[in-house]
Structure 1
Amino acid sequence: MSGAKTAAPKAPSKGKAKAPFGAENRQKLIGDFLGEHGGAPVWQSVYRLLLWVDKTTSLAHCYESDKCQPGKPWHLRSLRFHDWLARSLGVEPHAVSESIDWLFRRTADEYAAEVLRKQQHLLRRAQVQRAPYEGRGFPEPGEDPAIIAIIKEMLGERLLEEPTPHEWSVLSQKIRESIAVENKRKNLVGEGFEDVLAALLRAQPNAQNFDIHVRKALDQMPGFKNVRLGEKVNKVDLVLVDKQTGRETLITAKWSIRADREKQFQTEFASYVQARSNQQGWGYVLVTNEFDPARLARACEAMAANNRMFEHVIHINPAAVMDVYGPSPEDSMARVASYVTADRLLGLDDWLSKTGLK
């Protein structure tokens, strides 16, 4: 129509930035790592990507932090693990931290940069908001008297001069940010563990013979019936499907095994059995980095309908477990050792060979 105004074209929308700890960015980083470090043993890639140093002991993490403190029984075992890891990676004990935790360190760097960008934007807005209150002694944003008091108590006269309120505020914020970032680690040993395993499975020489799924809904798998209306969708951590035989291996990937997870295994397995819609065989396996002997033994011994519940129990590297337990293992440790000898507790690399992936 003559004289009608033409709407100005909209500016192209910017793509949403990848969240540093999100799945998309995590999977990209895992791919970058494997592209640079291809050919290494699978267990080594898992540890280099995900294993970390416990900041309270300065040793590679193998068990619950509170039980690994100096003087407690697991401190000696943590020392053994750290020593084994240093020797296995070919580095000095003091350099272990630089050889592991790659995924977290890389993700944390990106997260810190993102936080800084957001803070700079918010600070500009805050200056306008706080302008009417300038000069009235309002506390600085992020100021934490408790943190400041601890620093003053510890450093005392070593502080050559009193930092400004703004400097105290920035320091307090950085300390809190460091703690907040560390708390995000559980995401990396949860879904991140699943993503690392999936990437490693897909990197194996015979991966083309298998379909590999991550966090696959059970009702979307051909051999399992649909969930009932209103039921919670049951997702499997990883699924490995042999293209030739159609046999599915359902994988539960748990970095550690807490008591609630042990109960979850039974519930999970029962739901898989109930949902199975054909007579073809399938497997249920556990992949873990647990070191607690009682938990590992129970996983190896778990039964369902007079059969082993787990077709295989897979540890990232049983050699590490044996080294940690030492030359005179206690009863539960001796049970685990017997399962390692009998191949009931398999190493990740050995299991990949057994499946035909490797």
Structure 2
Amino acid sequence: MSPADAQRSNASHPAQEAVARAFGAENRARLLARYFDATQTITSTNAWQHVYRLLLWIDRTTALAHCYESDKAQPGRAWYARSLAFHAWVSNALNVSPADLGESIDWLFREAVKDLASRALAIRTAVYEQQRAPYAGRGFPEPGEDPELVALIKEVVGKWMTEEPPEEEFRKLTRRIYVYVTQENKRRNLVGEGFEDVIAAVIGRLRFSDKTEIRSRCLLHDLPGFHAPPPNEKPRRVDLALLRGNHRTLVSAKWSIRADREEQFHTDFEAYARLESAGQDFEYTLITNEFDAARLKAACDRRRQNAPLFTHVVHVNPDAVVATYGEAVRGSATAVSAHVKDGRLMSLEAWLEKFGRRIPDRSGASTD
């Protein structure tokens, strides 16, 4: 590595570490503890509200609550109409106006990024002169120089400016825009593990939590009744494990269900079943906030030999899915509506209530 590359790499570490700290597990745990400590009693009935207040966000390209891939939810497409319906439903359910919904959700992300932009900019400014010193006097572009972006800004707001700002101020603005966009790109990581953390935090605060051991992102072979994989096989991790006596529930917590995840569900279950060593059944449950009807139908219908793959398929709130599709349902949406009615697609509330009714008996087994 050249001296310049080494200098650049070393200088970038503080900024990377600042981002890692903001979005890491330790800070998420701290923020969730702060949120729930300031919250009134958590119940199975209001659990879904906390999930949405903590994790749901506004898609900046549509200005609506996010329920589907942004590129497919733009004005004029079918998912834009559905996004409008979802935005209306969740605003009403959380008792806020559609215009104010954004202020009532996305708490975890907003708190994680608070002041991160200014800290990142300060870190970059502090090492700026050191990094550029070897190239002084050679006419190198300044950070934030983006003539096209500046031209766009001037085109849109220029006529309202009493005077044109110095170029240095435009560079500062474009740099802040880039930092903002970078932060938004971190949302996927926060929502992924954050969903697991929020579900675990909710369960841990319910009335039956003292009887339940909750483990997040644990190795399968660290759980009772599972042995380690062969040396040539990668150890398996479980999103969430709930242990009550001899009753074991392995939870796959996925905010959304990508195509590759659908295949992974089967692969994971096969590994869990193969590595089970106690000779006892375990539950395999999916908890999701997916809105795509075909993916939800597949999760509900997917089978392993002569039984459903998932013991339970749980949606944060299936009523939101039904409202999003409205009355003009067809195809997979019709099947999903039927699964909601017959309970195959359960609400988080119903699942928590069912889980809470299981009381371990003296032998450690659980009964309803």
Q: After TM superposition, is the score higher than 0.5?
A: yes
> By how many angstroms is 1:137 displaced?
4.8
Task: Identify the match of residue 66 of structure 1 among 66, 71, 90.
Answer: 71
Tell me the residue number matched to 1:42: 47
Determine whether 1:223 maps to 2:221.
no
Could you tell me how far apart the structure 2 residues matched to 1:288 and 1:147 are? 38
Tell me the residue number matched to 2:362: none
Deviations 1:168-205 (A, max 9, x none): 21111011001000000001111111111111111111
Tell me the residue number matched to 1:254: 254
CA contact (8 A) 2:300 2:313 kept: yes
CA contact (8 A) 2:297 2:332 kept: yes
CA contact (8 A) 2:299 2:313 kept: yes
Q: Amino acid of the residue matched to residue 236 of structure 1?
A: V
Tell me the residue number matched to 1:341: 341
TM-score (normalizing by structure 2): 0.87
Determine whether 1:297 maps to 2:300.
no
Secondary structure, counterpart of 1:20 in structure 2:
helix
Determine whether 1:280 maps to 2:280.
yes
> By how many angstroms is 1:24 displaced?
0.1
Tell me the residue number matched to 1:81: 86
Tell me the residue number matched to 1:324: 324
Could you tell me how far apart the structure 2 residues matched to 1:152 and 1:139 are? 20
Q: Amino acid of the residue matched to residue 277 of structure 2?
A: S
Could you tell me how far apart the structure 2 residues matched to 1:206 and 1:110 are? 37
Q: Amino acid of the residue matched to residue 155 of structure 2?
A: E
> By how many angstroms is 1:249 displaced?
0.5
1:1-358 matches, cutoff 5 A: 19-40=21-42, 41-123=46-128, 125=130, 129=133, 132-133=136-137, 137-243=139-245, 246-356=246-356
> By how many angstroms is 1:293 displaced?
0.7
CA contact (8 A) 1:239 1:250 kept: yes
> By how many angstroms is 1:357 displaced?
6.9
Gapped regions of structure 1 (runs ≥ 5) = 1-15
Could you tell me how far apart the structure 1 residues matched to 2:299 and 2:70 are? 22
CA contact (8 A) 1:214 1:239 kept: yes
TM-score (normalizing by structure 1): 0.89
Q: Amino acid of the residue matched to residue 299 of structure 2?
A: A
Could you tell me how far apart the structure 1 residues matched to 2:62 and 2:229 are? 46
CA contact (8 A) 2:242 2:249 kept: yes
Secondary structure, counterpart of 1:232 in structure 2:
coil
Deviations 1:146-180 (A, max 9, x none): 32232233345444433323112111101100100
CA contact (8 A) 1:201 1:357 kept: no
Tell me the residue number matched to 1:11: none
Could you tell me how far apart the structure 1 residues matched to 2:172 and 2:69 are? 32
> By how many angstroms is 1:350 displaced?
1.1
Change in 2 beyond 3 A, CA 1:331/1:19 = same
Could you tell me how far apart the structure 1 residues matched to 2:244 and 2:327 are? 40
Structure 1 window deviating more from structure 2 (45-54 vs 60-69): it is 60-69
Change in 2 beyond 3 A, CA 1:272/1:132 = closer
Could you tell me how far apart the structure 2 residues matched to 1:49 and 1:344 are? 26
Could you tell me how far apart the structure 1 residues matched to 2:111 and 2:164 are? 34
Change in 2 beyond 3 A, CA 1:317/1:269 = same
Secondary structure, counterpart of 1:19 in structure 2:
helix
Could you tell me how far apart the structure 2 residues matched to 1:132 and 1:313 are? 61
Could you tell me how far apart the structure 1 residues matched to 2:53 and 2:28 are? 15
Could you tell me how far apart the structure 2 residues matched to 1:131 and 1:286 are? 55
Could you tell me how far apart the structure 1 residues matched to 2:217 and 2:231 are? 20
CA contact (8 A) 1:204 1:357 kept: no
CA contact (8 A) 1:225 1:277 kept: yes
Could you tell me how far apart the structure 1 residues matched to 2:59 and 2:136 are? 46
Could you tell me how far apart the structure 2 residues matched to 1:52 and 1:309 are? 31
Please tell me whether Structure 1 or Structure 2 has the larger radius of gyration of its CA atoms: 1
Q: Amino acid of the residue matched to residue 215 of structure 1?
A: R
CA contact (8 A) 1:207 1:357 kept: no
> By how many angstroms is 1:138 displaced?
4.2
Alignment RMSD, CA only? 2.0
Could you tell me how far apart the structure 1 residues matched to 2:68 and 2:36 are? 26
Secondary structure, counterpart of 1:189 in structure 2:
helix
In the alignment of these two chains, the number of paired residues is 338
Secondary structure, counterpart of 2:114 in structure 1:
helix
Could you tell me how far apart the structure 2 residues matched to 1:207 and 1:180 are? 37
CA contact (8 A) 1:140 1:165 kept: no
Deviations 1:248-274 (A, max 9, x none): 100001101111110111111111111
Structure 1 window deviating more from structure 2 (220-229 vs 46-55): it is 220-229
Could you tell me how far apart the structure 1 residues matched to 2:209 and 2:330 are? 40
